[in-house]
Structures are given as C-alpha cells and as structure tokens.
Chains A and B, each alone.
Chain A
Amino acid sequence: MNKNIIIKIVSLIIVIIALIWTLYPLIWIIFSSFKAPLEQFTIPPKWIPENFTLRNYKIFFSNTEFVRTFFNSVLVTTSSTILALILGIPAAYGLARFKWKHANLLSFIILLARMTPPVVMVLPFFLISRYLNLSGTYIPIIIACSFFSVPFAIWMMQGFFSEIPESLEEAARIDGCTRFEALRKIVLPLVLPGISATSILCALISWNEFLFALVLTGQETRTLPVLVNMFVSEKNVDWGVMSAAALITVIPMILFGLLVQNNLVKGLTVGSGK
C-alpha cells in the first residue's frame, strides 16, 4: 500500500516537471508578445510585462504583408488537405479491405513517400517547377504539401477503416446496398472521427511546412512560416512583434488540435501501438 503512494507521488512530481518544461517557453512567448520594446531588453529578463500593450499585435496586423501571408497559408493548407482526403480516403479503404499480393510493396511506397526527408524532394520540385514555368504560383507548394499529406492520410485512415468490422458492410450488402452505398451509408459515418483527426493532422503538416515553402513560394505566395523566418533573420529582431507573429501562426493549429484531441491521439497511435 505504501509503495502505491510512493509511485503516485513520484508520478505527480514527474507530471508537474513535464508541465513546467512544456509551459515555460510558451508562457515566455505569450508574455513577450504583450511587452513594449523597452521591456524586451531588460537585463535580467522580466517575465511579466509591467505595461500590457497590444502594440506588437497592432504592428503585425497593420502589415499588409501579413494579411496576404495568412491568406496564402489558409489557401495552401485547405487545398492540400482536401486533395489529401479525396485521394487518401478511397485508397485507405481499398488497402484496408482487399488483400492482394502487392499490398506490401504498395504500403512500402506510401510509407516511404511519407518518411522521405523534405530536402530530398525540394531540389527536384524546385527544378521541375522552374522548368514548367510554375515558379511563384500556388501549384508547386500545394502539390508539395500534398506530397506529405496524401501518404499520411492513407496510412492513418487505413488504421481507422480496419477497425470497422467487415461484417457490417456485408450485412448492408445482403440488404441490397452496393459496395459503394455500404461504404457511404455505413462505413464513412463510423470513421468520421477518424476523418476529422486525419484532416487536422494533414492541415498541420501543410500549415507548418517550411522548407518547401521557403524554396517554392515567391513574394506573392509566401506562407506564415516563411514570414516568421524573414522576421527572425533580420539583424535587429523585434522580439515583441516576432512573438506575436509566432503566436498567431500557432494558435489556429493548437485550437483545431485540442478540438479533436481524443481522435488525434487515437490517430497518432493507430497502427503504431500494436
């Protein structure tokens, strides 16, 4: 009995340390985004701003560059996520339901596409889009983001589909449904939580993608991570505006993520927790 209490106390301590470790950088950035420039440069650094100011956010939002960049990020993320779902869901269903000889080779190609380092793909993508005269348009960056999210959607949805017993579909087909109707009426509603988690993670991949965006976007098509990079690489970083920019970049994804958290966790561990 005593040992159980010790284990609980140790667990609690570990969890508290983990929380502090996780929150320390986040709270620092949140506070910094509300500090006036003068307070950014106090030595030693002060955590809580004496005068809360919205200056940093005002500067950021009054910048037309930001508005366009934000729009670009939304456009690229939405298009590539839709593409990933349209292509990925049927393929995942196909792979989960049918057993055939080359399924392994197929799974390998899909997984390898997902696991290949972006740097390997970025050079050919850059050269090919230059050759096709697509530089500076949205097409290369949307396709590049789908390059990661399509295999990911297949891989993840496959796990969700295999959890739905095939007998459910068979029952529907005995009742006169076609395979497609059974899929649409029975299976899809059941995997809806999986679809929502998959779309969030696909969106996360595209929203956060940096290397492809850095190389493949021009001034007009630039996304948020590229803009953040431009701020950071300036000689005199305005840490306050930068912190505001960083928060604006991450908040949509954190909100989406927390919204579908349970399915997200399930999705992340599907197929990997076996």
Chain B
Amino acid sequence: MSERKNFNHIQYILPSLLFILLIFLIPIVYTLVISFFSWNLLRPDLGIKFVGFQNYLQALKNPFTWETIGRTFYFVIISVLLELIFGFSLALSLNTEFKGWKIVQSIILIPFMIAPVVVGFTWKFIVNNDYGPLPHLLINLGLTSITENPLLANPTTAMFMIILADVWEYTPFVTLVLLAGLKALPQEPYEAAYVDGASAIQRFFYITLPLLRSSIMVAVVIRTLTSLRVFDTIFIMTGGGPGSTTETLSFYGYRLAFQSYQMGYSSTINLISFFLAIIFTLIYMKLIGWDSNE
C-alpha cells in the first residue's frame, strides 16, 4: 500500500520539481561559480579569469557594500514597521461591525494589484516638486522646510518617499493577513474577559495580541522577505540617487551587472541577497509549522 502511495506521489510532484530544480538550481549554481571569476562583459579581451575569493574579499572590504546592506535594512525595518502599524489599525477597524466593509476592503486591496513600476511612476508624479500635489499640500500646511529641495533629489527625503510608496502598495497585504487572523480568533476568551470586566485595551493586550502573534509574525516575515528585494520603485523613482543614497542590495547587484558589467562581482553581491532570503524563508517555515510534519 505505502509503495503505491509513494509511486503516485512522485508522479504528481515530479514535473514541477524538475522544472524548479532546472530553472532554480542551475542559475544559483551558475551564480556561485561566476562569483569566483573576474568577468567583465565590456572587456572580452580580459577573458574570464578564476580569482578565488577575491570578489568576496573585495565585497567585504568595500565600505559601500556595508552601506548598501545598512540601507536595505533601514528600508525594510521602517517600511515593514509602518505597514504593520497601519495594517493592524486598519484590520482592527475593519473587524468592527459596520456596513460596507466589503467595499472598503475592495478599495484598499487595489494598490496591491498595481504593477510596482506604475506605483513608482505614480509616486514620482505625486511628489514632483513642480507639478505634484504632495509638495503643495505640505506648503499649504506650512511645512515649507521639507519642500525647499525637490523631495526625490534630497538624500534625507528621497528614501522616505520610496518607503511611502512601498507602504502604500503593501499595507493592504498586511491588513488582509491580520484581518483573516482576527476573524479566526476564538470568542470564548473575550466572553470570559467581558464577565471579568476587562477593558477594551486590556482585552487587546491580553487576548488579541497574544492570540494573533503567529499571524503578525507571518505578515512581518513575508513582508520582510518581499521588501528585501525592493527594486522596481527605486529604479523608477530615483534610479538609486541622489548620488547612491537610495541604492539597496538588489539595486547594487543590478547596477554592477548591467551598468558596469562586472558579472563576477555582481554575483557575489547577489549571493548576499540570496543568503538573506534563505534565512528568512527558514524562519517563515518554522512559523507556519511546516517543520512539525503535522
């Protein structure tokens, strides 16, 4: 019986497994191999030279690599934090009884379905100092000091504008995950707390928050993973500038490969991104209990 089961099982899984192995593992191994070579597409005369760990040493010694990693984490932490705060408040609000919440949910879901490239363009337009509405809103509110420089040309505000665009796009995702969690909460603890006379704030901190912990963690890990790879909005809004103050790890890897054509060094940088993805994927699997084998 169990033999037959295994046979069936392989049949179903094999095609997609082969597909994934083929188009995932081969490129990854290829990247790993290239990372030990010096290879510039613009200089075919130099050829492809094996350099051992030189790319890795260069990456680790270069302060720019660390700046990029720091910037990536800055972006991830601030945007995920904001998305969590906004998403949670919105999920709690949508979980109260009032009519028409389905329509609201449809509307708040829209940014999530918009191509990141279009999100980038939209926000580039919105924050444009001359023709966009946001700077003028800020001026009308008396916040002229912010708009003295174009928002995307100022190193201190540029990154924050990209974060705003990201928050706009992905808060709906966090809201939906947390809303699903809220709707699945058991009612008994609340009834008991009601009888004991617990206040709404107490109920939130002692019942909702602990029970919702895994939903929150899942939303945070998925958003962390997806924001680690941020590229499209940055490419459209600032192109990594001003200077290189909005260059994240993904952007750096892209620039090395397709603007300076350093295949080997770019691969080394990209492997850092891959390494981060492995860590967070493992955390995610732990959280949804995929390691417990049920």
Contact = CB atoms under 8 A, between A and B. Distances in A.
A25 B200 contact: no
B273 A15 contact: no
A119 B125 contact: no
Given A7-B200, A15-B93, A274-B214, A119 B168 contact: no
A93 B10 CA distance: 11
Interface in A98-133: 98-100, 103-104, 106-113, 115-128
Given A116-B274, A229-B235, A232-B236, A111 B281 contact: yes
Interface in B203-233: 214-215, 218-219, 222, 225-226, 228-229, 231-232
A40 B123 contact: no
B244 interface: no
Given A12-B93, A98-B5, A257-B109, A119 B31 contact: no
A26 B266 CA distance: 36
Contacts of B86: 18
Nearest to B212: A273
Contacts of A126: 257
Q: Which of B111, B114, B214, B222 has the most CB of A within 10 A?
A: B114
Interface in A185-240: 204, 207-208, 210-211, 215, 224-225, 228-229, 232-233, 239
B255 to A, nearest CB: 10
Chain B, interface SS category? helix
A25 B98 contact: no
A15 B288 contact: no
Nearest to B271: A120
A225 B117 contact: yes
B285 A111 contact: yes
Contact of B122 (A29, A121, A257, A266): A29
B270 interface: yes
Interface string B133-149: 10010000000000000
B191 to A, nearest CB: 15
Contacts of A98: 5-6, 8-9
Interface string A1-41: 00100011011101100110111111011001000000011
Interface residues of B, number: 108
A148 to B, nearest CB: 10
Contacts of B28: 120-121, 124
Nearest to A11: B93
Contact of A103 (B200, B228, B293): B293
B59 interface: no
A23 B126 CA distance: 12
B57 interface: no
B136 A118 contact: no
Contacts of B116: 208, 210
A97 B15 CA distance: 17
B218 A272 contact: yes
A16 B29 CA distance: 50
Nearest to B25: A109
A69 interface: no
A119 B270 contact: yes
A258 B12 CA distance: 32
A204 B112 CA distance: 10
A247 to B, nearest CB: 8
B177 interface: yes
A274 B289 contact: yes
B131 A43 contact: yes
Nearest to B256: A123
Contacts of A184: none
B20 A40 contact: no
6 contacts: A43-B131, A44-B136, A90-B11, A108-B281, A120-B28, A239-B131
